[in-house]
Amino acid sequence: MFNLGDIIAMKKPHACGENRWELIRIGADIKIKCMGCGHIVMIPRGEFNKKFKKVLTQAADVDEANEEFYLKSTQIMQPNMINKNEEDL
């Protein structure tokens, strides 16, 4: 459906007039960034699912040179993962 780094459309545009958002966090809450002004909003997943319209551009297909506020995949914070080599505390 949607993945980290995708550019999506919501049912209503942001106050700046832009209706393109980048997914920068996926979990119990969804964090999205407006591609028009760079404003970041965190929404509970249930509310996000109601307001989500469609994926405009997959993360792999985004032209980063043309997107002023797009975060590269190296800039997006990845979820904490426990290394398999670490001992359990």
CATH architecture of 6-57: Roll (2.30)
Per-residue pLDDT of the chain (89 residues; tens, 9 = 90+): 888 888 899 999 999 999 999 998 888 999 999 988 989 999 999 999 999 999 988 877 766 666 666 666 666 665 555 555 555 44
Cα separation, 7 vs 32, whole angstroms: 9
Phi, psi of 48 (to 5 degrees): -60, -45
| pLDDT of the residue at 23 | 92
| pLDDT of the residue at 60 | 73
Q: Where are the domains of the chain?
A: 6-57
